[in-house]
Amino acid sequence: MLIALLSIFIVGLIAPGLYSVLREKTGWVLAILPFSVFIYFLTLFPAIADGEVITQSTDWVPLFDVTLSFYLDGLSMLFALLVTGIGTFIVLYGSGYLAGHEYIGRFFCTILLFMGSMLGVVLADNLITLFVFWELTSFTSYLLIGFSHDSAESRNSALQALLVTGIGGLALLAGLILMGYTAGTFEMSEILNSGDVLRESPLYLGILILILAGAFTKSAQFPFHFWLPGAMAAPTPVSAYLHSATMVKAGVYLLARVHPAMGDTDLWFYLVTGFGAATLLISAWLALCYTDMKQILAYTTVMVLATLTMLIGMGFPLAHQAAAVYILGHALYKASLFMVAGAIDHEAGTRDIAKLGGLRSLMPISAVAAALAALSMAGIAPFFGFIGKELLYEAALEAPMWSTLLISIAVLGNIAVVAAAGIVAIKPFYGPKVETPKHAHEAPLSMWIGPITLASLGVVFGSLPFLIDSSLIVPTASAIYGETLDFYLSLWHGINLPLILSVVTLLGGIAVYKIWTGLQSSTPAGLYSTTFHDGPKGGYQFLVDGMLSTAGWQTRVLQNGMLRYYVLTIVVTMAVAIGYTFMSRAGFAWNNELGSVELYEWTLFATIIASALIAVMVRSRLAIIVALGVIGFGLALIYLMYGAPDLAMTQVLVETLTVILVALVLVHMPPLKKSEAAGSKFRDAVIALTLGGIFTAMTLTAMTLPFDLFISEQFAEWSYPAAHGRNIVNVILVDFRALDTMGEVVVVAVAGLAVYALVKMNKKQSKNGGAES
């Protein structure tokens, strides 16, 4: 699995170079890779169908227990087949849709990296590895959504998707770390067997909320649903892939994956099922508020993601059977419909339903693909979508709680989906013929082979469900539920309540389709869109604008170009943080037995204090640097008096060099400005005395503690055997703390360069000023 995954990333990185050689054949050549990986997973299909689990592990960061471990069961197998199978058609479709585009090589690179990232998400067993691939999907989707980077709409949509999913990703990281900490392992395969430990942990609520935040933002659940229709600014190949098989289903995959460990609680049911049901109803009817084909399809995608979330939240076998069927059925018909929408836009010059009609004779293959996919989307027999809808209704009717509410929401949502399916499949092809911006004709082979194949599979799997029920759907549902299930799929279950509800749904959808033109342009539809689309999107924009305003204010305050205020901010922060920590954790204590203090010690102390006062009171820069130099040399005498001649010598050398360098700079500096107001001086004095007092108190408190010679003795013991040096101070600086010393040397060197630059700059300015005068 690792080799298959790495091959996608490697080929993705070299794809632009391949395009420069292969040109228009590049898409067909690159499609061989995902198709080969698809075949590879098919070779593992029999083992997974028999209930086996395939694992693979390679050390990555063993120090932090991070491995490149992969876990293939029914759930990850289904997603791996969708990612690589539909990905094959997307690469082909992109080669036709973007033929001749300036950045098509970049598209091939990014779409393959995106494919590899999503494949990594569904195969990863290690939590940290899963998160790395999770964030890679966010980053690569940002590049894909913003592919048309010269468009402000594309850039804004890409940033919106990145921020929403990125913030959710940070929450997910915290949740995964807490999950691994609580379970005692970061391997998902082991965590799935630790459900009781997680559910009984006091951290369960926090873990659940953090993981749901990551999943809900990724899979566009209310109130985060607005970013997904915004991602329609991406080229259609991206939209088709993103909506059918990859990124937006990552959140659903995560919920399905962690269900055996995190599910089976009332809290799980209320949150997951509740948000799923609410998003289902809201998004299904939002789809009818627009005339853009991709916008309509985008909101029906949100509706299906919500349906999957609701089913996973229900937590019993029948619901998970329905979820497994829905995952596959939606991927087949939605990828097909998006690619048809892109073909219409590409060949007719628009995807606005109001400007399309009569394309059946001009685009016959696309018309057939759209019809087959839409029939499956509407849940009409004998299509695979019908089986999914029947199972959905059965699951809602048998839900342990909220049964009446859930079945009502499911029926109302599917009525809107039936109408949406008719809108995107009937009006463009069978509606009254209209003049389109471009003279429409059938798309090239690369653009219709995918839609017709995927739509046809919806018919095959619906008519012959035994082809995949025991081999793929049963292992998938079993992985979601956490126990082995045994069931089969069938088109006909007799005349029962789910069938009656399906008929009601179909009739209701036809009725809504009939009145859609007037409904879409009505005031209630506008208010509905404003409330549930513009409202959450406006909330997002308000937060972003607030963040930018806060950043601007902070920049104006903290980075105003005045060095004195930078120093003031640092000193105040240190005083508050260190002072609070010191007083709350330790408290002040001191030994008032000073012992005998000699006259020369008092004299030195007074000299240092006097020099400090002179430095802050005089107006001459030269006097200031002399006073600071006296303080430095005074400290050197203190080191010398207390038995540290090496340190004293270092202090003298540093002080001498500092005085000389600063004096050289001060010669070229302009005169000091007028003295500051008394209030500013008083403020600075209080802050300086406060920080100095805090350090003094900390020093006195430290002196009351028993002196531990452990470190000193260790250095003395190691000095000669380990570093071959008898001068312990030198050994510490050069060997034991070599990197620290090197850092100090670099700081001094940089400071010297800065001084040199200031001197040269000032001389240059003086010359320029003299020339001008």
Query: Does the bond joining 524 to the residue before it have cis omega, within 30 degrees of 0?
Result: no
Distance CA 173, CA 156 (A): 25
Domain C-terminal end among 501, 521, 541: 521
pLDDT above 70 covers what percent of the chain?
A: 96
pTM equals 0.80
Q: How many alpha carbons lie under 13 Å from residue 320 in its C-beta half-sphere?
A: 28
What pLDDT is stored for residue 593 in this prediction? 67
Domain C-terminal end among 521, 546, 571: 521
Is 348 within the bounds of a domain? Answer: yes
Mark 248-262 as b/e (b = at least 16 C-beta within 10 Å): bbbbbbbbbbbbbbb
Residue 59: phi and psi, rounded to 5, are: -60, 135
To 5 degrees, how large is the angle CA 124–CA 320–CA 5?
A: 20
Structure tokens at 745: 């040397």
What pLDDT is stored for residue 383 in this prediction? 94
Sign of CA dihedral 618, 620, 626, 631: positive
Distance CA 438, CA 446 (A): 20
| Three-class SS state of 358 | coil
What pLDDT is stored for residue 672 in this prediction? 66
What pLDDT is stored for residue 772 in this prediction? 42
Which strand (E) or helix (H) includes residue 602?
helix 599-617
Which tens digits make up the pLDDT trace of 289-313? 999 999 999 999 999 999 999 999 9
**Beta-carbon contacts of residue 325 (< 8 Å; ≥ 6 apart):** 384, 387, 388, 391, 473, 489
Is 539 within the bounds of a domain? Answer: no
Instruction: Report whether pLDDT(457) > 90.
Output: yes
Q: What is the DSSP letter of 561?
A: S
Which tens digits make up the pLDDT trace of 636-687? 888 888 877 877 888 888 888 778 877 777 766 666 666 667 777 788 888 8
Is 683 within the bounds of a domain? Answer: no
To 5 degrees, how large is the angle CA 505–CA 508–CA 512?
A: 135
For 145, 219, 230, 237, 299, the CA distances from 227, given in Å and listed in that order, are 11, 10, 5, 18, 11
**C-alpha closest to that of 414 among 515, 313, 280:** 280
Instruction: Report whether pLDDT(770) > 60.
Output: no
Is 456 within the bounds of a domain? Answer: yes
Is 481 within the bounds of a domain? Answer: yes
Instruction: Report whether pLDDT(169) > 90.
Output: yes
Number of domains, the chain: 2
Q: Among 105-109, 347-351, 615-619, 696-700, whose mean pLDDT is lowest?
A: 615-619
What is the mean predicted confidence (pLDDT) over 544-548? Answer: 91
Q: Give 572-583 as a 3 state SS string.
A: HHHHHHHHHHHH
Is 561 within the bounds of a domain? Answer: no
Which tens digits make up the pLDDT trace of 725-748? 888 877 887 888 888 888 888 887
Beta bridge partners of 187: 126
Judge whether 164 and 224 are in contact, CB under 8 Å: yes
Average pLDDT, the chain: 88
Q: Which of left, alpha, beta for 379 (phi over 0: left; psi -120 to 50: alpha)?
A: left
Is 672 within the bounds of a domain? Answer: no
What pLDDT is stored for residue 667 in this prediction? 67
To 5 degrees, how large is the angle CA 101–CA 163–CA 180?
A: 115
Most confident of 349-363, 409-423, 521-535: 409-423
**Beta-carbon contacts of residue 281 (< 8 Å; ≥ 6 apart):** 409, 412, 413
Domain C-terminal end among 521, 540, 562: 521
Structure tokens at 570: 């640092």
Which tens digits make up the pLDDT trace of 437-449? 888 888 899 999 9
Q: Among 8-22, 354-368, 636-650, whose mean pLDDT is lowest?
A: 636-650
Structure tokens at 184: 């005692």
Q: What is the DSSP letter of 674?
A: P
Spacing of C-alpha 701 from chain mean position: 47
Instruction: Report whether pLDDT(773) > 60.
Output: no
**C-alpha closest to that of 252 among 175, 208, 312:** 312
What pLDDT is stored for residue 367 in this prediction? 94
Cβ count within 10 A of residue 167: 15
Quickly list DSSP for 508-547: HHHHHHHTHHHHHTSHHHHHHHIIIIIHHHHHHHHHHHHH
What is the mean predicted confidence (pLDDT) over 182-187? Answer: 90
What pLDDT is stored for residue 755 in this prediction? 72
| Three-class SS state of 376 | helix
Is 344 within the bounds of a domain? Answer: yes
Enclosing domain of residue 497: 263-521
